[in-house]
Structure 1
Amino acid sequence: MIINFHQITEDDIEQYSAFIKDFYIEVSDLAPPSLFLWRDSFQVQIDQTADYAVLLCTYHEATYCLAPLIKPGVDPAPILQRIHAYFHRQNQAAVFRAVPRELLSLFPTDRYRIIPDRTYWDYLYRTKDLIELRGRKYQQKRNHINRFQQFYPFTYHSLTPEHFPACLRLFEHWAAEKTGQPEVHEERLALKEAFKHFSLLNLKGGALEVYGEIQAFAIGSRLNKDTAIVHFEKANAEFSGIYAVINQQFIAREWADTKYINREDDMGLPGLRQAKERYHPFRMVEKFTVVEVGA
């Protein structure tokens, strides 16, 4: 048998969502909404059976698999051999990215090179910490929220389709200062897909209305039984403290029943890393790149 990748579809994402209920997924890369929303930018393809799910991505001319998900009791060796054969037909060694530590056992070190990749580690926070913001380490965040509440009367809304056009307008306002950055266009495409497939992907969102206009919004989904993941968070930075408010309000209003919040990686960007570290993650979700050797 050969691996049979095809472009991921709505039907695939429904089947994949059902399949991964047997796994405890922690890495944001394997979240069904992440795969579907960014499917065009990352050219996401899938091969899925009752025994396994394998995702293939091509981004900036680099082709790689995400960590293969294989049902317990199924021999991984034939599946990995099929993946290898696919890469060998493309005249390259097999490459796997965003592999969590718990799946490294699939890759014996005599056949693979295992490389920690801090750039793509996810930030995992305690939900309670992000809601309550207790202690000296969150003093600055509390100050930002208090100042915002003092100066700006606002209303929180759980996101519904009626809010989508205003959220897109806000995104374009945010994007106006970032012309020429391809990542912004990719995020725009993903956001439009989120609004188009909001129900299919079981997304939840929240928005802040200030002076009659949506000035901040956030969108997320459930990653596993304990964890929610934040896919988008955008705000009008002209309102000082607004990011701290949408962060807290969105988690408190939509995800208070979770233990953890995954806020994805920082893409190696110093400013984004600093912003995420200021919220004091509970821990990092480590990811590794795995490369076949001797191919």
Structure 2
Amino acid sequence: MVRESVDLDRAHAARVGALIRALAEGTGERCLSEYSFTNLWLFRREHQYRFTDGPWPYISGLTYDGAHHAMPLFSLDKAPASVIDDLLRRHDCLYPVPLAQAQRLDAARYLHSASRDDADYLYPADHFRFYRGELLNKKRNLMKQLLKAHSVVAEPYGPDWHARALAVLDGWMADKGKPAGSADERPCRDALADARALGLEGFGYTVDGEPAGFVLAEPLQPGVYAMRFAKSLHRFKGLAQYMFHHFCTARPEVQWLNFEQDLGLPNFRQTKQSYQPEALLDKCRLRGRD
């Protein structure tokens, strides 16, 4: 019997993490950024995530545009139609569903759609290691100008960087004119407080001795990392470009970076597009045709 749903909690890490790993196995660089217990837990408040265990477990919550969705923690093409239909009766849609999986379902029974706002941005790590080509030349020049004018030091992120990273986050919020609690401030604070236990890896950066930036990323698949948080002070032009460059250079095992979605925000979209993504990964919403 399926149990009632409960608020997603750190106590669910082992169970949900194992389900997600099985679901994402073999997806390589096309693994969706939501396929991570850490990501689900960090954004549990924003999306009101709940976990329902049982033979056909799933996460339920609200999308950024307010749709009540279920995220199946099993392969839809291996489930009876009655299981999918029951989930759809109780939710607006199933989301996120990888396009390849949605296409394997009965098209006469189910329809799928994908919003550009939801799509993950996927980049080869070499884009950031070398900033080759005319389109990325500006990134390379900004980084060179920063390094010529300032002393930039990178340190592996750890507990000794926590207070400094919080100062950077506060500065970033002020630079962006964001009120407290907006943007991704709360998830970012949770991540900074417990990065190692959450499986997040990254660096803190000082410029002329001042804490000025940090990155925290999470491995999704071998060689594939989701860039969960990247913050830098606005006055240090070129630091963001350097942080991405340094992360990929310091970690030769990194082959792909997933920069997650742009949420339809024009400035966010322009910035992510400027790094020349190799692909946009669709996240489908699945509904019944009835």
- Structure-1-length-normalised TM-score: 0.87
CA distance in 2, matches of 1:258, 1:218: 14
Corresponding residue for residue 242 of structure 2? 245
Partners of 1:56 and 1:63 within 8 A in 2: no
CA distance in 2, matches of 1:66, 1:124: 24
CA distance 1:52–1:261, shift in 2 (3 Å): farther
Which residue, out of 184, 193, 198, partners 1:196? Answer: 193
Alignment of structure 1 residues 201-280 onto 2, 5 Å: 201-253=198-250, 255-280=251-276
1:174 paired to 2:178: no
Partners of 2:88 and 2:94 within 8 A in 1: no
SS at match of 1:4: coil
Residue deviations 1:75-108 (CA, integer Å, cap 9, x gap): 3434324423434xxxxxx312332102204653
CA distance in 1, matches of 2:284, 2:95: 6
Residue deviations 1:189-248 (CA, integer Å, cap 9, x gap): 101211233222111121111122210111110011231000111101101111111111
Corresponding residue for residue 289 of structure 1? 285
Partners of 2:151 and 2:207 within 8 A in 1: yes
SS at match of 1:98: strand
SS at match of 2:45: coil
1:43 paired to 2:48: yes
Corresponding residue for residue 14 of structure 1? 14
Partners of 1:52 and 1:70 within 8 A in 2: yes
CA distance 1:224–1:152, shift in 2 (3 Å): same
CA distance in 2, matches of 1:232, 1:100: 23
- Structure-2-length-normalised TM-score: 0.88
Corresponding residue for residue 35 of structure 2? 30
Corresponding residue for residue 134 of structure 2? 136
2:49 aligned partner, one-letter code: V
Partners of 1:115 and 1:290 within 8 A in 2: yes
2:52 aligned partner, one-letter code: D
**What's the CA shift for 1:15?**
1.9
Which residue, out of 94, 116, 126, partners 1:118? Answer: 116
CA distance 1:248–1:48, shift in 2 (3 Å): farther
2:38 aligned partner, one-letter code: P
Q: Please, which runs of 5 or more residues in structure 1 have no aligned partner?
A: 88-93
1:199 aligned partner, one-letter code: R
2:90 aligned partner, one-letter code: Y
Corresponding residue for residue 104 of structure 1? 102
- More off after superposition, 125-134 vs 55-64: 55-64
SS at match of 2:215: strand
Structural RMSD (CA): 2.4
Corresponding residue for residue 91 of structure 1? none
CA distance in 2, matches of 1:124, 1:239: 26
1:42 aligned partner, one-letter code: H
CA distance in 1, matches of 2:178, 2:140: 35
CA distance in 1, matches of 2:98, 2:68: 15
CA distance 1:76–1:169, shift in 2 (3 Å): farther
Partners of 2:224 and 2:255 within 8 A in 1: yes
**What's the CA shift for 1:10?**
1.1
Residue deviations 1:166-185 (CA, integer Å, cap 9, x gap): 11111111112445668x52
1:65 paired to 2:65: no
